Amino acid sequence: MSGSTSIQMLDPTPIPDMPDVSILVLEKDSPTNTTFYPLGNMAHPLYSVKSDDSANNTEIRHERNGTEMASIHRKKMGADMMTLRGGELMKVKDWLVNTKEPVHGVSFTVRGETYTWGIDSGSRLTLYCVHSITRPVAWYTPSDRHLRVTHGPPSITRAYLALTPQAEQFWDEIIISFCIVFQKVRSGGRTPSTQWYNAWGMMNLMSLFQMSN
């Protein structure tokens, strides 16, 4: 029989023993064009990320009320710029900054608390509260490809963000910061399922932010 076999796109499964963790699935494992939807509810996305053809200008919107949460403008020369909720234009580095203590990564502050994206011991991109680095607030799992199979059709399990109850009050900021971090990694020539998923990857990420500052 000739012809190509279609690839099934699958949602991830709920995380065992973590019923209170919310799962936001990425329709596409892309930092510049995707939607985030609750597990099992693809028809009703919560957030959308859209970019122009150059991928240098990205808009992040809240789909439930249609409001723009952030606009990000990447530059080849000079500092990357952004706006938050239609506010004044500012440098990305003034909102999302490099940090070395207590976790190597990049940080933002919301409601007087500082949170850092870093790499955990299991090589996951993970968000921590700086006052509780042993308990992650959120983490990203990239898409999982099963293309060389002996039984059944090939498939791809979609990427997702896992958010603990601690993250409930600032999902917007988590989505915005995650998209910026993800864009930086991708612009550095990394893919979310290979080299950057380790300490060297985070060092590369930090160097990318330094280069744009």
Q: CA angle 41-43-45, nearest 5°?
A: 75
The crossing angle, in degrees rounded to 10, of helices 171-187 and 199-212 is 90
Taking only the tens of pLDDT, the chain with its 213 residues reads 444 568 899 999 998 889 999 999 999 998 889 999 999 999 999 999 999 988 789 999 999 898 999 999 988 788 899 999 999 999 999 999 888 776 778 899 999 999 999 877 777 889 999 888 788 999 999 999 887 777 778 999 999 999 999 999 999 999 999 999 988 776 654 444 433 344 444 444 555 455 454
Task: Please give the model's pTM, rounded to 2 decimal places.
Answer: 0.84
Sequential DSSP letters for 114-171: EEEEEE-TTS-EEEEETTBTTS-SEEEE--EEE-S-SSS--EEEPPEEEE-GGGGGGH
- Is domain 19-212 in CATH 2.40.160.200, yes or no? yes
The residue extents of the domains of the chain are: 19-212
